[in-house]
Chains A and B, each alone.
Chain A
Amino acid sequence: MQRNGKKATDLQIAICGSAGDGTIAAGDMVKRAMARAGYKVIAFDVYPPEIRGFGKCISRVRVTSEQVFSLKPKSDVLISLDDSHAIPHVGEVKDYGAVIYEDMPVTMVPEGGHISGHLLSSHLPYGVPFRELSERVTSSARSRNIAVVGYLAGLYGMPRDVFYAVISDKFKTKPAVLTKMSIQTFDAAFEVGENTFRLDEGVLKPPPKKAKHGELVMMSGNGAIAKGCMDAGLDTFFGYPITPATTIMERLAVDLPKQGKRMLQTEDEISAISAAIGAGYTGARAATATSGPGFALMSEMMGLGTMAEVPVVIFVSQRGGPSTGMPTKTEQSDLNIAVFGAAGDGQRIVLAPTNVEGCYKCAGKAFEIAERYQTPVVVLLDLYLSNRYEAVALPAKNPFAANCSKPVGKLGKDQPYHRYALTRDFISPRAIPGDKGRRHAVTGLEHDENGRPNDHTHEMMSRKRHEKLHSVVRYPGITMSKRFGDKGKVDVAIIGWGSTFGEILEAMIIARDEGIRCAAMKVVLLSPLPMEPINALLADAAEVLVPELNYEGQFANLLTGTTGRAVTRLNRVPGTPMHVEDIVDEIRRLAAKKKGRKALAAE
């Protein structure tokens, strides 16, 4: 996996402003337009923790010609829509990068309050009278963010038509004059940008040829979850608003009723999962979405799902914890509760996609798997993955199967139906309310095959609940784990999960370019773990590194607990994604350590 080097397009744009400046909207236009133009795009928005007012928003968009897996720590371009927010981010602009800002503020700026006084000496300043530009065209400063986008597009020679399409799309439900004025603003600013002599070193080559598999769609992680749910035929969704999962519910509130399906905002997370399990019990595809605090409330009901063997899908977008923690910061610290969190020893299925496309896949497959194995399936996301955007190539054909439930065959005369009948694969044929002559009660009490409360069956039923899950590691149509990089023996193996795997992959590519033999593995199925490929990688590796965004090393604990292999942990909890460079440093250190051992052995 080698990159084309300096010649390839790789432009990362950070737009920073207040809530209300249209910052996120501007970033959204850029990423959608660039995806439409055929570039690879990865983007991440940061919202203010404040509810209202003038909190800081940052939208970061990385536009590339080759597939990349994470954002860069340094941006090529910083656009300030509000200097007081953008000034602290000047340091994230790379050397010889650009800073674009408002040159004609409407009121006096306090001394030291203008971003032009804060640039590093290598930065290239582009002061533009965006407010004037916007007012000239629309008699209002409200389209200032569109002027910013126009200027950026002109400055870097981005194709205009894709922006026209994105702007038209954005205002399609609004009066036509809005689209017209927005495009006029865009054009006016585009021309200013086009006629600006560009001095910074950001690289944007003409877009690559359109991908063969069709249009790339710009999607956030949460958007891909919602899309996966819809394509998998989700019937009902129950949720309670919580950052950063709310946008899943908001999307489904629009999309589900269009299909005659149903979304209900419940009174709390307990009701959300309860209702989803109630719906799952009727044979409907049901889901809920939450974050750490809500997930903690759900754990008892998930235990019921395991015990009563009811399919349900729970999307969990992790944020900083414990407790209310950091609602607008990312973290990977709910792995423990996802895998272990409930009373008793009931194993459940946990999937963790590593990118936006994976969100789509995992969301859809989660319903198949929940149905097939008659158990709750947790899909673990995190704020970084939920809110980040990537250009995704969706499959032309819906990849998800409709009904995966094990059917009740024909029963003999007087042969009673037993909901929890023991079978060879430990999965019982499942009847649902409405099925004729299959009446039964499900329960959270330990029970016999017929579902009647019974303590003597506990050993047998515990085995059934655990054994039935084993084959999920081979579930078709979804990647449960994947190895990248060098084959055979490696000096360093990096194993990761969730959004951090993007940074891991970037780090591995850099380390390999430096001549270090290494491999990276993403583990999507976190419970039960796909032991076979994991053990194979561990056997190949002199050193094992597990980077994750939690303090304890929850995945490292899981790995060591299941394999007995000691691993090197790299844990960070800054509330932001891991730095690629931190991982590379650790790979270098481990590779050197291995070399040192070899030298010692040679002596």
Chain B
Amino acid sequence: MSTHSHFVIIGSGGAGSEAALIIRKRDPKCTITQITGSKLPFISRYELPRVFDGVDNWRDLLAHPPEFYDDNAITVRRNSWVDHVDAKNKKVLLRHKEEVSYDKLLVASGGGGYLPEGLREFRPLMNGLGSYEDAVKMRQALPSKGHVIMLGGDMTGLDLARTLVAVGHKVTLVAGEQLFWPHEVEEKKEKKFVTVLEAMGVKVVLGKKVMAIRKGAKGEPARRVVFDDGGGINGDAVMPFCGLMPALDFMIGANVDIERGLLVNPELKTTNDSIWAAGDVCQIWSPEENSYLFYYGWHHIKEMGEIAAINMTGGKKKISTYQDDHLYINKQGDIDSPYWMYR
């Protein structure tokens, strides 16, 4: 198939990048534009912990070298934000007041780090890990043998925790509701995993609610996390790892159905015939569960990108909505997750 259509992909993460490549393979003459707020070409979130492991040039973390995009005629509009989507006129309006017309649109804007209500006011005192820049800032903030306090404990965080411990930092995990997110772990299994975590060198604080984050007193480490029981711990940095929130404010008013994510059918099409979605942003109809579900993890994301691309270019492929993503202990006795398979 070959058209002169303009495919616009919002997002340059795993789903968006995979979709762009598949679209190009299936339609050599079309125009492909990816739009991303990131300044850099695609770096997988799962690669970022390597920044703490001595990788100090972003070029070594890229999923594809820059030439890849030029060779495949994929325009990646970086440092650009979508203000809203005008589905009626098939236009994407960018924040810098430029309209980009599309024939087919794929929303693959992913998710931002979720922050529970009570923690939001302390955002300036926390370090995120949403981007390469965040990772470097975090590394620079951390003294040698520093102490990182993690809040929540989703799988990205745990991945980082392993790396930080391995390079000599101290990690304290204040476990919250999002511990092992997006895995859902039964309570009795949870204890086993926590034991393994502690064996890895991560100190786990259970059953405490974070009330506040403060700057450390003079002479003390830079941050203090205060608990509901009045106690607290000091650390050099505080990082929240409380799961992801779909990033799709800009889709409000675009005439598509939204619940928490963009609602799509198993072919990943939204309720608008020209708009598809893939990745952490979409909630897919699962006939098995009779509801819309999120599917996280690298291999899902990549698959979603591929399926959306196939369907956008005239193919017909459904995603397998059955999932078996369990947290487990591997042969070395370490905690492991299918979400880490990329490593």
Q: Is the CB of A105 within 8 A of B97?
A: yes
A107 contact set on B, CB distance < 8 A: 97
A197 contact set on B, CB distance < 8 A: 133, 136-137
B25 within 8 A of A: no
Q: How far is the CA of A110 from the CA of B39 in the complex (A)?
A: 22
Q: Is the CB of B58 within 8 A of A199?
A: yes
Q: Is the CB of B99 within 8 A of A108?
A: yes
Q: How far is the CA of A105 from the CA of B95 in the complex (A)?
A: 10
B321 within 8 A of A: no
**What is the total number of residues of chain A having a CB less than 8 Å from a CB of chain B?**
25
B265 within 8 A of A: no
B-contacting residues, A84-122, CB 8 Å? 95-96, 102-105, 107-111, 113-114, 116-117, 119-122
Given contacts A107-B97, A121-B69, A197-B136, contact A116 B76 (CB under 8 A): no
- Among the stretches B77-85, B192-200, B325-333, the one at the interface with A is B77-85
Give min CB distance, B137 to chain A, whole Å.
7
Given contacts A109-B98, A199-B40, contact A116 B77 (CB under 8 A): yes
A186 within 8 A of B: no
Question: Which residue of A104, A120, A125 contacts B39 across the interface (Cβ within 8 Å)?
Answer: A125
Task: Indicate with 1 or 0, residue by residue over B87-115, a CB within 8 angstroms of chain A CB atoms.
Answer: 00000001111111100000000000000
Q: Is the CB of A117 within 8 A of B77?
A: yes
A-contacting residues, B49-90, CB 8 Å? 58-59, 66-70, 75-80
A125 contact set on B, CB distance < 8 A: 39, 78-79
Q: How far is the CA of A105 from the CA of B94 in the complex (A)?
A: 11
Give min CB distance, B329 to chain A, whole Å.
38
Given contacts A95-B66, A105-B96, A108-B97, contact A116 B80 (CB under 8 A): yes
Give min CB distance, A525 to chain B, whole Å.
49
Q: Is the CB of B70 within 8 A of A116?
A: no
A240 within 8 A of B: no
Q: How far is the CA of A122 from the CA of B98 in the complex (A)?
A: 22
A124 within 8 A of B: yes
Q: Is the CB of A121 within 8 A of B101?
A: no
Q: Is the CB of B96 within 8 A of A104?
A: yes
Task: Indicate with 1 or 0, residue by residue over A119-134, a CB within 8 angstroms of chain B CB atoms.
Answer: 1111011110000000
Q: Residue on B with the closest CB to A125?
A: B79
Give min CB distance, A279 to chain B, whole Å.
58
Could you say which of B78, B100, B133 has the most chain A C-beta atoms within 10 Å of its C-beta?
B78
Q: Is the CB of B66 within 8 A of A122?
A: yes
How many A-B residue contacts, CB cutoff 8 Å? Answer: 67
Give min CB distance, A86 to chain B, whole Å.
14
Q: How far is the CA of A197 from the CA of B69 in the complex (A)?
A: 23
Given contacts A121-B76, A125-B79, A197-B137, contact A113 B98 (CB under 8 A): yes
B100 contact set on A, CB distance < 8 A: 111, 117
A111 contact set on B, CB distance < 8 A: 98-101
B75 contact set on A, CB distance < 8 A: 117
Q: Is the CB of B96 within 8 A of A103?
A: yes
Give min CB distance, B321 to chain A, whole Å.
35
A113 contact set on B, CB distance < 8 A: 98
Give min CB distance, B95 to chain A, whole Å.
8
B261 within 8 A of A: no
Could you say which of B68, B96, B133 has the most chain A C-beta atoms within 10 Å of its C-beta?
B96
Q: How far is the CA of A110 from the CA of B80 in the complex (A)?
A: 15
B96 contact set on A, CB distance < 8 A: 102-105, 109, 114, 116, 127
Give min CB distance, A214 to chain B, whole Å.
39
A110 contact set on B, CB distance < 8 A: 98
Q: Is the CB of B136 within 8 A of A109?
A: no
Task: Indicate with 1 or 0, residue by residue over B164-189, a CB within 8 angstroms of chain A CB atoms.
Answer: 00000000000000000000000000
Give min CB distance, B265 to chain A, whole Å.
31
Q: Is the CB of B97 within 8 A of A109?
A: yes
Q: How far is the CA of A513 from the CA of B136 in the complex (A)?
A: 36
A127 contact set on B, CB distance < 8 A: 79-80, 96
B-contacting residues, A125-169, CB 8 Å? 125-127
Q: How far is the CA of A455 from the CA of B338 in the complex (A)?
A: 105
Q: Is the CB of A121 within 8 A of B80?
A: no
Q: Residue on A with the closest CB to B58?
A: A199
A102 contact set on B, CB distance < 8 A: 96
Give min CB distance, A205 to chain B, whole Å.
18
B41 within 8 A of A: yes
Could you say which of B69, B79, B99, B101 has the most chain A C-beta atoms within 10 Å of its C-beta?
B79
Give min CB distance, B203 to chain A, whole Å.
31
Q: Is the CB of A121 within 8 A of B67?
A: yes
Q: How far is the CA of A125 from the CA of B33 in the complex (A)?
A: 16
Q: Is the CB of A114 within 8 A of B98?
A: yes
B41 contact set on A, CB distance < 8 A: 121
Q: How far is the CA of A131 from the CA of B27 in the complex (A)?
A: 41
Q: How far is the CA of A408 from the CA of B33 in the complex (A)?
A: 82
A-contacting residues, B127-174, CB 8 Å? 132-133, 136-137
Give min CB distance, B140 to chain A, whole Å.
10
Q: How far is the CA of A103 from the CA of B80 in the complex (A)?
A: 9
Q: Is the CB of B77 within 8 A of A121?
A: no
Q: Is the CB of B79 within 8 A of A116?
A: yes
Give min CB distance, B48 to chain A, whole Å.
14
Q: A107-B97, A116-B77, A121-B76 are in contact. List 8 more A-B contacts (CB 8 A).
A: A103-B96, A113-B98, A116-B78, A116-B96, A117-B75, A121-B69, A126-B79, A199-B132
Q: Which 8 A-B pairs have the closest CB atoms?
A: A121-B66, A122-B66, A125-B79, A121-B69, A197-B133, A109-B98, A114-B98, A127-B79
Binding site for B on A (CB under 8 A): 95-96, 102-105, 107-111, 113-114, 116-117, 119-122, 124-127, 197, 199
Binding site for A on B (CB under 8 A): 33, 39-41, 58-59, 66-70, 75-80, 94-101, 132-133, 136-137
8 chain-A/chain-B pairs, Cβ below 8 angstroms? A108-B97, A109-B97, A114-B96, A117-B33, A117-B75, A121-B41, A125-B79, A199-B40
